[in-house]
Chain A
Amino acid sequence: MTDEKGNRDARDAGTRTQDASHETRSELLRSDTTQLEVVEIREGAFGAPGTGDTSGFGGLTRPVMMPGASQRPFGGWYDEVADRLAAGPGLGDAIEKVVVDRGEITFYIRRQLLLETVTHLRNDPVLRFEFCSSVSGVHFPHETGRELHVAYHLLSMTHNRRIRLEVATPDGDPHLPSVVSIYPTADWQERETWDMFGIIFDGHPALTRVLMPDDWPGHPQRKDYPLGGIPVEYKGGTVPPPDEWRSYS
């Protein structure tokens, strides 16, 4: 397995298994972080660590990786959009990286330049992403300094194209510029993302909860949100919360 480490296909990385005897955790991490996004190093197969797992799979160690940054040419109209986006006024450093995966293009945008980026994306006649389909958050607690991600799915009806913008923000400073001034449709969707993830959209006209009750504590779709166990009547036992159920790693 070690010899093909260098050219491992990003797409297969999530399902690939590796023998722990050849590489230590730190080696696994170091070898791939330059090109791939390591999500997690998983050990065993049944969520039971150490000798508790008698299946023989207890020694498995495998890294789980998100698709890494793509290299040019991206193919099709992707290059045109990427060039045009980078050529926007003051947008030279806006793009952190570009990922083309499963027929979709994702632009990772620096949060300071998000508002300028979407303004350019909407107004430029070659880009013309006049429709914001969806705004949603994703919480990656292990990505230190970039825990909270927001994905914007933009649609250009003029050119019949879809792109995704992804912006990361640290948990300690969960601020992003609001895009409501460009896409009024993002109003409720940003409220939902604030409600569920606690991301503050600066400049939003009225950033209040939309799905949870106004006085609700916490942001339920964060991965660290405590899930309650359910007390079982008559027995004194509890049904454990879902994040403590057996899971298959």
Chain B
Amino acid sequence: MSTINDPYASTTDSREGPVFTVTGQDWDTIDASAVEGDHLVINMGPQHPSTHGVLRLVLEIDGETVRDARAGVGYLHTGIEKNMEYRTWTQGVTFCTRMDYVAPFSNEAAYVMAVEKLLGIEAPEKAQAMRVLLLELNRISSHLICIATGGMELGALTVMTCGFRDRELILDLFEMITGLRMNHAFFRPGGVAQDLPEGAIEQLRSTVALLKKRLPEYAALCNANPIFKGRLKGVGHLELAGCLALGLTGPVLRATGYDWDLRKKQPYWGYETYDFDVVTRDEPDAYGRFRVRLDEMWQSLRIVEQATDRLEKMDGQPVMVADKKIAWPSQLSVGADGQGNSAEHIKHIMGESMEALIHHFKIVTEGFRVPAGQAFASIEAPRGEIDCHLVSDGGTRPYRAHFRDPSFVNLQATSVMSEGGMLSDVIVAVASLDPVMGGVDR
């Protein structure tokens, strides 16, 4: 395709110099005499297959060398924080689960932890074990996506197909336990929405067994692969001091050799009782981060196995706090006519107790009140520290909800990781940060 006759974007002049539109394979159509030197400012994205969604990178390049890199975000901003101010505390989960859609449970976890802190309650033991189980499965599926898309961007398509194949196994588990593959809204203030369904333990065990067989494939495909190593080694280098200054957490921080993991340092929901190791590596580059993620999946599998063992022994225990002023009144069930409130509950509120009906109506439409004050909760998400800052004015809705999303903060390192490097390494550097734009823009 020729750039000269492009009816939508013909060559124009700007203050910076002439503007050209090229769409790939047609760089030679640019009139070289119109360009002074090799100095170019190019827009990568927002619609670009290797920017992990709608990320816009403004790159100033000199030949193949990146002189200046700026990231532009906000293309997926949906006002989730503002929307939450007009919904009940329970409905808030439905919103925040959509932020970082690759790791939805982490968003829900940070939010419900902050609400529970404000209420001064603690979820029952079984609910905590289910949360840990889902969070760790989610960590594996999220790291698989990171490795898969990162591989795809290098042209390693086998890594991508393997990654998505194995993530599918975990999404099947999510579907079985929560009813949905993503956007679960499963963690609720006070517990989780539903008990484990029948057959979940067996399914968990068989999936873990299968994953154990398949995870070594990534190591076999990549760890010693000279092309893979050649593309990743030394790219996106950022030492510990840089990570702390720029607020980077998660695998990026642990690849500098610092064992900072909130699951160990500030444990929540019984993480201190699980046996697992924090993975670190003294290679603060894209390759080190890849290896950290790879090893973290194995540690998560260990936690998943332990959580499964515990849940097997907790059959019949409650998954929601006993306080009826907070707990959701009904449970979902699948009947002959589809999914809905359990028939027993409907029978109770419609035929037996007017008070139960009033209670159901009040708690579902009005919600519960949360004492005034503010709370802050942090958990270790697959991408790093996700924090939720909640302010309550004593009402039935959050007065203010703010999320510190790890993707948003980590993405600030784009410039320092890519400037001075090759254009092709920008993609590797961004992929090693593993940003999810839904979380960045919220």
Contact = CB atoms under 8 A, between A and B. Distances in A.
Given A211-B74, A248-B396, A133 B79 contact: no
Nearest to B79: A220
Contacts of B233: none
A175 B414 CA distance: 29
Interface string A224-249: 00000000000000000011010111
Interface string A114-158: 000000000000000011111011110000000000010100010
A164 interface: yes
A211 B73 contact: yes
Contacts of A137: 402
Contacts of B392: 14
B402 A136 contact: yes
Interface stretch (B99-107, B243-251, B300-308): B243-251
A197 to B, nearest CB: 10
B369 interface: yes
A13 B412 CA distance: 41
A169 interface: no
Interface string B364-405: 001101111111101000000101010111111101101010
Contacts of B277: none
A17 to B, nearest CB: 11
Contact of A13 (B260, B366, B372, B396): B372
B120 interface: yes
A133 B373 contact: no
Given A211-B74, A220-B79, A247-B396, A11 B373 contact: yes
Interface string A144-184: 00000001010001001010100000000000000000011
Interface residues of A, number: 52
A102 B393 contact: no
Nearest to A66: B372
Nearest to B78: A211
Contacts of B375: 102, 104
B86 A242 contact: yes
B353 interface: no
Contact of B372 (A14, A130, A189): A14
A247 B395 contact: yes
A133 B387 contact: yes
B373 A15 contact: no
B106 to A, nearest CB: 15
A210 interface: yes
B86 A245 contact: yes
B256 to A, nearest CB: 12
Contacts, number: 134
Interface string B401-442: 010100011011000000000000000000000000000011
B408 A188 contact: yes
What does DSSP make chain B's interface, helix, strand, loop or mixed? mixed
B266 interface: yes
A204 to B, nearest CB: 13
Interface in B240-273: 244-248, 260, 265-266
A191 B244 CA distance: 19
B247 A183 contact: yes
Interface string A188-201: 11001000000000
A192 B244 CA distance: 20
Given A64-B372, A65-B372, A183-B245, A151 B389 contact: yes
B394 A14 contact: yes
A172 to B, nearest CB: 21
Contact of A102 (B79, B83, B120, B366): B120
B393 A184 contact: no
B117 interface: yes
A131 to B, nearest CB: 6
Contacts of B40: none
Interface string B71-95: 0011001010111001000000000
Given A137-B402, A162-B376, 18 more contacts: A11-B373, A12-B371, A13-B394, A14-B369, A14-B392, A65-B372, A102-B120, A138-B399, A139-B400, A153-B387, A153-B404, A157-B244, A160-B265, A162-B378, A188-B408, A192-B408, A212-B74, A247-B395
Interface of B: 73-74, 77, 79, 81-83, 86, 117-118, 120, 244-248, 260, 265-266, 366-367, 369-376, 378, 385, 387, 389, 391-397, 399-400, 402, 404, 408-409, 411-412, 441-442
18 contacts: A14-B371, A39-B393, A64-B395, A67-B373, A101-B373, A102-B118, A103-B117, A131-B247, A133-B247, A134-B387, A134-B402, A151-B389, A164-B374, A211-B77, A221-B82, A242-B83, A245-B86, A248-B395
